[in-house]
Structure 1
């Protein structure tokens, strides 16, 4: 006897039920982490493109702790490092959009990289689905013992640099926002600033506090321990308003530089194709986690201001920054190959 089931074995209504069940089982096999009853995943991953111990990784670990048991039975952090954060974003293209993988990335990888790399392994506006902003932070322009204590503002630093032929500054990387801030400062104040790229802000700061480098531009949080120890001075910050972490320091705009308001943000994204329901579930889990005392205070210790947004607000913010940085990068003339 044949083991095949004849089409006429079941009535039409039963065939419909059978097909629905088969479809559901197939979906479960393809994506085994489907939402369980009550809206909880078995496991979720927060993916960062940076190594353990840094601000990006620390943010993810604090969020994972708050989201475990609610959003998913377990939430882990996965570090997919390399290519300045590109590998983590590229990885999202092959992951299921079921909410089990959430990318955390700084704005630069999506808003600036498209303008400095001729070819990227991802489309910054199409290959990810915005969920929520996670935090924002300003940049600082600081000096060390190589610069006289009488220099207290960026224009004064430029005047000193002109007089001493020493207008160099370090940044965490070529093509980073701090790199470009230094270039723009020099252009407005008519000084050819010499940019020295480092692999991260801390190595640059160590050279600065050691007297080998006069100035560094980098995330404000990276200066805080050295500032507290009296080893450096922050001359200006880059935000539209003064930073809560160094409220006594004026902004670049307050010091007379035009169109020099720059902030960075970390955002949370799902893979492309995530349903509206999945996006809202992730957003609903992230927002209270980002508002928790543990996360707010933990990020503040690193100079990061925890915040959140709707998916639409993050999408608009990404598009705005992407469009703003295009002309800036073009005017500076920097490419990843330069």
Structure 2
């Protein structure tokens, strides 16, 4: 998996090369009155925050006269949102905001996936980078503070040894599955429609643990309502510096940093994609956006469509063997 520093360096280099492509063209496309951003997760989560904070800043650009309208189309593990944008008018007025798992992981698990990530969409711009976290709640004794202590508790309490994730087939789902496989215990997976419902159950004592973007845990962790015991970055999160990484605790195969990206339907005019890319990059440099993303444990990215497309393919190639090892498949 890429580290955040490697990825940002990669994107910066691609941005410089991108100056010879879309960005060198004059802004010929007329700005939309208003655009839509569709994401597949509930309000309040990291996908929603990225959509809204960036969308709020798109107004007054060559892409859109006004701020974007954000629509949360939950269900089918995020695929309803993807399908909505696939079938939207390919004029560029509708964008998808999604974690890369829907584009680079799902093709390995859904035999009858209703969209082709590489043919039905055009990468527009990277939005934000996140790391995942494992948190436990009041169902788990307060003495459990590390991953190994949690594994020992799970093995001693198999009927309660479960974890939630924001969707079946998502990256957090697979992180939990890898943990159970590598440590030889049954770690039952409970899929939710997004992070917030699962976190609510952890805080309420109905669910032992949750694996999801760690930014979704920050408020409850700081309030003492749950405990984040590991994060998936190569280094500690600047937003939860007291929490050790999985790698620090001896679980190097759980190092993952995931991005949210903006996509348009296939056949969207190149100049519209360029205008949208420029507007999103500008939004991601706004201090209010940076601060709002940081409150959710997110790091703004940006860059060119070309860089995003290349990393999407890289992640697709990386996740194939991992999904095969886990053995998870699903019918769409």
TM-score bracket for this pair, using the shorter chain length: 0.7 to 0.9
Residue in structure 1 matched with residue 133 of structure 2 by the alignment: 140
**Do the aligned partners of 1:291 and 1:307 also contact (CA within 8 Å) in 2?**
no
Distance apart, 1:113 and its partner CA: 1.6
Higher relative contact order (CA 8 A, sep 6+): 2
**Do the aligned partners of 2:52 and 2:70 also contact (CA within 8 Å) in 1?**
no
In 2, Cα distance between equivalents of 1:158 and 1:80: 35
For the residue of structure 1 that corresponds to 2:316, the secondary structure is helix
Q: Does 1:46 align with 2:37?
A: yes
Residue in structure 1 matched with residue 124 of structure 2 by the alignment: 131
**Do the aligned partners of 2:163 and 2:190 also contact (CA within 8 Å) in 1?**
yes
Distance apart, 1:103 and its partner CA: 2.1
- The structure with more radius of gyration: 1
More displaced, 153-162 or 48-57?
48-57
2:244 to 229, 247, 250: 250
2:110 to 117, 120, 137: 117
In 2, Cα distance between equivalents of 1:49 and 1:262: 21
Q: Does 1:79 align with 2:71?
A: yes
TM-score (norm 2): 0.83
Residue in structure 1 matched with residue 168 of structure 2 by the alignment: 174
Distance apart, 1:108 and its partner CA: 1.7
For the residue of structure 2 that corresponds to 1:296, the secondary structure is helix
1:181-234 Cα deviation digits (max 9, x unpaired): 111112222222122233333333233233333222121122112111112111
Q: Does 1:305 align with 2:302?
A: no
TM-score (norm 1): 0.81
Matches within 5 A, 1:8-27: none
Q: How many residues align?
A: 304
More displaced, 61-70 or 127-136?
61-70
More displaced, 195-204 or 111-120?
195-204
Provide closer, same or farther for how the CA distance between residues 231 and 45 of structure 1 changes in structure 2, counting only shifts above 3 A: closer
In 2, Cα distance between equivalents of 1:47 and 1:75: 14
For the residue of structure 2 that corresponds to 1:283, the secondary structure is helix
In 2, Cα distance between equivalents of 1:211 and 1:186: 21
Q: Unaligned regions of 5+ residues in structure 2, if any?
A: 1-25
Matches within 5 A, 1:1-338: 40-70=31-61, 71-79=63-71, 81=73, 82-165=75-158, 166-337=160-331
Residue in structure 2 matched with residue 16 of structure 1 by the alignment: none
In 1, Cα distance between equivalents of 2:318 and 2:59: 37
**Do the aligned partners of 1:44 and 1:75 also contact (CA within 8 Å) in 2?**
yes
Q: Unaligned regions of 5+ residues in structure 1, if any?
A: 1-34
Provide closer, same or farther for how the CA distance between residues 146 and 283 of structure 1 changes in structure 2, counting only shifts above 3 A: same
In 2, Cα distance between equivalents of 1:211 and 1:53: 21
In 1, Cα distance between equivalents of 2:34 and 2:201: 43
**Do the aligned partners of 2:239 and 2:297 also contact (CA within 8 Å) in 1?**
yes
**Do the aligned partners of 1:46 and 1:64 also contact (CA within 8 Å) in 2?**
yes
Distance apart, 1:255 and its partner CA: 1.0
Distance apart, 1:332 and its partner CA: 1.3
For the residue of structure 1 that corresponds to 2:321, the secondary structure is helix
In 2, Cα distance between equivalents of 1:94 and 1:148: 48
1:138-191 Cα deviation digits (max 9, x unpaired): 111111223233322112211222234343222223222222111111222222
For the residue of structure 1 that corresponds to 2:96, the secondary structure is strand
Let me know the Cα RMSD of the aligned residues. Answer: 2.5
**Do the aligned partners of 2:27 and 2:271 also contact (CA within 8 Å) in 1?**
no
